[in-house]
A and B are shown apart, each in its own frame.
Chain A
Amino acid sequence: MSFCSILFLGEDTPRAEASEDPAFFEDLNLDQVADALLAGRETYNLRPFFRMPLQDVDSVAYRHEVFRDLEQGPVFEAIATFSESMRIIRDALDAIAKLYYPHERERWIVDASSRYCEAVTTLSNELNRLPLASRGLLALRGFLTDYQGSSGFRGLVADIDQIREKLAAITYAVLIDGNRLTVRDLEGEGDLVAAIHETFARFRYGAPKSYLLKFSNRLGMNGIEAKVLEFVARLHPDVFSELDRFAEQHSEFIHPLVRQFNREVQFYLAYIEYARIFEAAGLPMCYPDVRTDDKAVHADDAFDVALARRLVEADEDVVCNSFELRGSERVFVVSGPNQGGKTTFARTFGQMHYLAALGCQVAGRAATAHLFDAIFTHFERQEDPLALRGKLEDDVIRIHDILEQATSNSIIILNEIFASSTARDASVLGHRVLDRILDLDALCVCVTFIDELSTLSEKTVSMVSLVNPANLDVRTYKLVRRPADGLAYAVSLAEKYSLTYGQLRTRLSGGRE
């Protein structure tokens, strides 16, 4: 297999890159995930990759393979080292382009191209040494080996060695006397500093403090530095004309495919670093089983990665939830007390599918995900006081739009629909919408306060958020598969105030049975 792209299987022309996040990113907090994931790598412009979910199982497998290779520390280190070198080279080339004095600029090109050759060689050697299994990295290994053997690359390396050796052999003397500057060869004058150290060595006491000032080795020269360099060039004309030739021949030394690989592989590095945050906090991540042929979906101990990241930073506990859709089940109807983790559950479900379609790990010990064609979300919004339509009307129109576009391969996530209407209206509208979705056979999470939606059909699964019976002020953020009878919360509350049947009987009997 010849090497085309480390991200996309068998695509040698890059895909069109979307410039905006899709609408559902904000609802599912995927914008936060992308921000956190890509932070520090802005210069690679990776966000377009984050906006390209894959739709076939083999493309996802291609990324899983690369991820698994990269999860071996040495492979990750080799690639990270390479990309750090490439970053330095790119920064250097940007800066070098602006330099005024040619003998300085040319030398920087020598140094940058040398660094490039080292980076390519090191990466190639490392990849040859390490056990690889992914189609992507194996193809890259083949490409790098061929590239290193090419006459272009070998010629570059030879030229670098030759010019560097000649430049390194030059030692020149500078004499400053008032306004006069002389550059000449050394004529045997001794090292004064060494002599001073020797003279005072008898007083040496402990480790000395350094009084050496930092002289920045900045880019660019002032007139005097340039003058010195000019004189050095005149003392050594052959070496410097060779330097001119080098810069002319090797100004574009980076191979386009190397450049593209370096950008694309950042996506993997970014995600691995991101996933480590969770692993370090003891939160499981896994490669999901992705499917297009059926809609069985499940996750063991999944969590909302955006929320979890904030909690981990604040050193707070993260609650994991498990869920499953079997056979003909398609819809989670989520009910229960407020702030019990219902919205988080909806996001967890959506994130899991989206990240799975990016070919990445998802939250949880194990997961099965459906490769969707589109995700639609409807989360309650702040009412816009200037809008002409009322909130309910707005809700209905938005849901209509969703149902127009959605297919049986879509994922629909509805959060507190029709919350701004009467209970009766909400119930009627809710039934209608859910009926349409069930007809469509799409996967759906529907967060609602309308209990009866959960028993609409054998395709719906009821998930209920729990409270801690011992302390009702503590949210468990735990959701379980159970009928939405609206009792769990009430019973807990009654227990706290000793008002359950049994408690009341006992109390009313004066402690006697």
Chain B
Amino acid sequence: MKTFLLYRDQDVDWEQPLPANANDLVADLGLAALFQAMAAGDKIITPIATKVILWSLADVNGILYRQAVLRDCLAQRDIVRDIYKLAGEAIENESRNFWGIRTRQAGSILRRARDVLLMFFEILRKLRGIADQHGSVFESEGFSRFFAMLRDELDDAYLNEVYRQLRAVEFRGGMLMTARLGQGNHGSDYVLRDFDRPPQNWFTRLFAPREPGFTFELHPRDESGARALSELGDRGVNLVADALAQSADHILAFFHALRDELAFYVGCISLHERLSAKEEPLCFPVPQAVDARIYRVCGLYDPSLALSLPQRVVGNEAYATGKMMIIITGANQGGKSTFLRSVGTAQLMMACGMFVPADTFNASLCNGLFTHYKREEDAEMESGKFDEELRRMNALAGHLAPGTLLLLNESFAATNDREGSEIARQIVEALVDSGVRVAFVTHLYEFAHRVWTERPGEALFLRADRREDGQRTFRLREGEPLPTSYGEDIYRRVFGAELARSSLRPNT
């Protein structure tokens, strides 16, 4: 009994580690807001969504498999939420059935295992009911297989045998076990026997043929004898308790798998509802092989920003097929960082099988997404900060490989333009020539200009716009890097014109 709703043919290993840079990705892309919207108050969903999103898939087929399941979920959201709720109920009930007063006694292990199994089978029967009633409206391979499995594995004959065995372990007609003579002639190798006879009393015994073997009847007041007899019985009881408790654990694992896998899809439904309510566009992306280097997106926006604003956000387009670099320059607060976040977030959403925040999205996968952002919190001296940036870059370089995608946000700027540009040029060119794709938000004019003149075919240049009146449009357009980034505008707004004039740098 496998759920297989996230992978076509394997269980999810929920213990597998997140990528080393998971924390950076969450912080730099502002993913917390996305996770929160998916959770919609459900505590289970956030950690699950975090894992599924950050464990990107690298194969197109795996992504299409999930897209199909997700389409079913969006179309049958009530049924999917019901199944999710049933799985959660099974887990909840199991955890509420405590282990009595911590006694490690065979009898209490058996009683609990039996109770839990009876409860599980009530829920399993409901799941089979859903499969019988609604299974046919689901179209995806994942759900079709899942419902077929429920119908096949939980048929009536099977359920009857389960209930018979759960009755047999009540030992109403006595408990029969076999043993051999072990060390010191103590009993060993106990085997519990399937001995399903009706309860006995003096009357049935009177008329039954004499039992073979030797029989001994305890005196009703022999307490130590009774204790010893129940100890002996416990050996048999424990064997069956072990078998049932293990079975309960296996079924519990099934419910966990079901709940956790559905938690991701239920989170997707919630996010879809939130963004649709704002009439933000959503589409299923067309994932392409890494090597194809395709990047054609339209109406791309940052979902985290969209979730935080009442009004609709501005979408951007980018046609970077065949290019190794997207270099984004231009006005401060002109939407550059937002665009970079949207590139990263959409890439992750595509790679985990989700819809993406765009009108259309047709892009190559990557072998890993990395970010290198200016760390604002470092209140160090400039040289120390630059040193820190390069140290971090050094650590990152250990993870980069052909086919990975690196987002650089104002990196190498903690020094003067010339030095920063030279470092940036050497690093970026080395990366690009090694097959790493780079999206770089930068004020390093010399660097951007040099790429523009020396490697014109290899980069898409986007520029943040500024209208004549200094107002930002938040829309990026293709365009040549310009030698100013309008920082003066902001400076002036914040400090006033006088101060701004007195602190202008000689070269601007």
Contact = CB atoms under 8 A, between A and B. Distances in A.
Contacts of A231: 213-214, 216
A209 B182 CA distance: 26
Contacts of B1: 202-203
B233 to A, nearest CB: 5
A187 B178 CA distance: 10
Nearest to A208: B246
A280 interface: no
A227 to B, nearest CB: 6
B208 interface: no
A182 interface: yes
B232 A224 contact: yes
Interface stretch (A3-11, A193-201, A419-427, A498-506): A193-201
Contacts of A34: none
B214 A183 contact: yes
B109 A211 contact: yes
18 contacts: A107-B184, A111-B184, A174-B178, A175-B175, A179-B217, A181-B218, A182-B215, A184-B214, A192-B168, A192-B195, A196-B243, A205-B257, A210-B242, A213-B238, A219-B184, A223-B224, A225-B186, A229-B185
Interface in A451-508: none
B183 A217 contact: yes
B104 interface: yes
Given A181-B217, A181-B229, A203-B250, 8 more contacts: A174-B187, A176-B174, A182-B214, A205-B257, A211-B245, A212-B242, A223-B225, A235-B213
Given A195-B194, A211-B242, A177 B178 contact: no
Contacts of A100: none
A88 interface: no
Contact of B180 (A168, A180, A204, A227): A168
A217 B232 contact: no
A270 B70 CA distance: 71
A104 B215 contact: no
A183 to B, nearest CB: 5
B231 A180 contact: no
Interface in A102-134: 103-104, 106-108, 111
A167 interface: yes
B218 to A, nearest CB: 4
A68 B76 CA distance: 82
B192 interface: yes
A203 B212 contact: no
B240 to A, nearest CB: 6
A225 B245 CA distance: 27
A52 B360 CA distance: 96
Interface in B419-457: none
B176 A173 contact: yes
A227 B228 CA distance: 11
Contacts of B176: 173-175, 189
Given A177-B174, A208-B246, A193 B240 contact: yes
A228 B232 contact: yes
Interface residues of B, number: 72
A210, A224, A231 pick with most chain B CB within 10 angstroms: A224
A108 B181 CA distance: 12
Interface in A72-111: 103-104, 106-108, 111
Contacts of A170: 180-181
A44 interface: no
Nearest to A210: B242
A200 B165 CA distance: 11
B160 to A, nearest CB: 11
B213 A185 contact: yes
B235 interface: yes
Contacts of B243: 193, 196-197, 200
A229 B214 CA distance: 11
A211 B158 CA distance: 25
Nearest to B245: A211
A191 interface: yes
A182 B211 contact: yes
B37 to A, nearest CB: 32
Nearest to B180: A171
Interface string B225-267: 1101101111110111111111101110110010000000000
A173 B187 contact: no
Interface in B99-157: 104-106, 109, 113, 153
B75 interface: no
Given A200-B250, A223-B225, A172 B178 contact: yes
A182 to B, nearest CB: 4
A103 to B, nearest CB: 6
B289 to A, nearest CB: 33
A199 B180 CA distance: 26
Nearest to B235: A215
Given A177-B175, A182-B215, A193-B243, A204 B250 contact: yes
In the complex, which of the residues A187, A189, A210 has the most CB atoms of chain B within 10 Å of its own CB atom?
A189
A103 B241 CA distance: 31
A213 B247 contact: no
Residue of B169, B173, B245, B246 with highest tally of chain A CB at under 10 A = B246
Nearest to B154: A202
A149 interface: no
Given A199-B161, A224-B232, A189 B213 contact: no
Contacts of B174: 175-178, 180
Given A111-B183, A186-B193, A179 B218 contact: yes
B250 A108 contact: no
B192 A107 contact: no
